[in-house]
Amino acid sequence: MNTDPGTLKITLLGTGMPKPNINAFGTATMIEAGQERVLIDCGRGTVIRMSQMGFATGHTDTLILSHYHSDHYAGIFDLLMTGTMQHPHSNRGGPLHVYGPPGVTDIADGAWIATRPDRNIRVADHEIDPEHMRIIPHEYSEGVVYEKNGLKIIAIEVDHGEFIDIAYGFRVEYNGHVFVHSHDTRYNENLIAQAHDADVFVHEVAGAPADLMAENQKVKLVIDHHATPAEVGRVFARTKPRLAMLTHLVLLPPDEFTIDMVMADLAEEYDGIVLVAEDLMTIEIGKNISVIPYNHGARPG
Ligand SMILES: [Zn+2]
Ligand SMILES: [Zn+2]
């Protein structure tokens, strides 16, 4: 553990996609910098992953959503509702602030109605403050979404497909350190333009064999919303991060596109080191960059 207070700490809680998978939950990334704690995206199982890292459900009261595919916010009810309980494992102690593109008000309004039955029971039992079960919506557009105590989170408009209006990646800055996460996007010039000088650049990727794409419209449609391995290689080659990493691997069956195939295609465009993200991996950007897997050195339990 890096004890330098100027360290930017990132925990990849979920690195998966919509397909349920015990090893790769929906996207969720905890950002910690000094006293600041911000969660970006809240996919399926986020609260479970938080508890594995020793984070109470109320570890943060700030959530930023990249876009509205379910694998990026399906876990929000658990975070919202369980976080109200006054136990060491919860204890948010206030409403949940959710920053999102247009649509975030619908989530806040809908959640207030959908959580009412649970809220009524717990209020009757004098268990919670009902206001803690409220989402305070903050609509954002491209630019600075969050800036506090030296932590700056900048939304970068990306391109997640023709009909997906609208999706963002993020540039996180703290104490001279830079972390960039593409979230879901195709090859995108705006992201490349704003991903300069990154210490760590995490990019999504999707692949399918060429013949499968040619004959299967469904596969082609999915791949069209994402970046191919060669495209991601080009993104890394143009932005030159100190460390490049892949996440949100959409490797489509039935003829699965393997990780070896991803790396081979990517290597056509990029000759640097590329890591593959996994759930519960911690990235610390301080004096050096350390990437610590959850089961480091066969962690007990
Ligand atoms: Zn996704
Ligand atoms: Zn998406």
Hey, how many other C-beta atoms are within 10 angstroms of the C-beta on 214?
Answer: 11
CA of 40: how far to CAs of 3, 45, 138, in Å?
23, 14, 14
Distance 61 CA to ligand 1 centre (A): 23
- Quickly state the pLDDT bin for 257 (edges 50, 70, 90): confident
Who surrounds ion ligand 2 at CB < 5 A?
Answer: 69, 184
Q: Identify the pLDDT of residue 171.
A: 98
**If you average pLDDT over each of 123-132, 159-168, 251-260, which comes out highest?**
123-132
Closest ligand to Cα 185: 2
Distance 172 CA to ligand 2 centre (A): 20
Q: What percent of the chain has pLDDT over 90?
A: 85
Distance 282 CA to ligand 1 centre (A): 20
Distance 160 CA to ligand 2 centre (A): 7
Distance 184 CA to ligand 2 centre (A): 5
Say if residue 1's pLDDT is above 60: no
Contact call for residues 221 and 162 (beta carbons, < 8 A): no
Closest ligand to Cα 247: 1
- Quickly state the pLDDT bin for 301 (edges 50, 70, 90): low
Domain ranges of the chain: 8-292
- Give mean pLDDT, residues 155-175: 94
Higher per-residue pLDDT: 251 or 6 = 6
**123 vs 130: CA distance, rounded Å:** 7
Q: Tens digit of pLDDT for each residue in 42-81?
A: 999 999 999 999 999 999 999 999 999 999 999 999 999 9
Say if residue 239's pLDDT is above 80: yes
The model carries a pTM of 0.96
Question: How far is it between the farthest Cα atoms of the chain?
Answer: 62
- Quickly state the pLDDT bin for 2 (edges 50, 70, 90): low
Question: How high is the mean pLDDT of the chain?
Answer: 95
Closest ligand to Cα 43: 1
Say if residue 299's pLDDT is above 80: no
Say if residue 116's pLDDT is above 90: yes
Distance 69 CA to ligand 2 centre (A): 5
Say if residue 182's pLDDT is above 70: yes
Secondary structure, 3-state, the chain: CCCCCCCEEEEEEECCCCCCCCCCCCCEEEEEECCEEEEECCCCCHHHHHHHCCCCCCCCCEEECCCCCHHHCCCHHHHHHHCCCCCCCCCCCCCEEEEECCCHHHHHHHHHHHCHHHHHHHHHCCCCCHHHHCEEEEECCCEEEEEECCEEEEEEECCCCCCCCCCEEEEEEECCEEEEECCCCCCCHHHHHHCCCCCEEEEEEEECCHHHHHHCHHHHHHHCCCCCHHHHHHHHHHHCCCEEEEEEEEECCCCCCCHHHHHHHHHCCCCCCEEECCCCEEEEECCCEEEECCCCCCCCC
**207 vs 228: CA distance, rounded Å:** 6
- Quickly state the pLDDT bin for 134 (edges 50, 70, 90): very high
CATH superfamily of 8-292: Ribonuclease Z/Hydroxyacylglutathione hydrolase-like (3.60.15.10)
- Quickly state the pLDDT bin for 252 (edges 50, 70, 90): confident
Q: How large is the angle between the packed helices 259-267 and 229-239, nearest 10 degrees?
A: 50
Q: Tens digit of pLDDT for each residue in 194-217?
A: 999 999 999 999 998 888 888 888
Closest ligand to Cα 250: 1
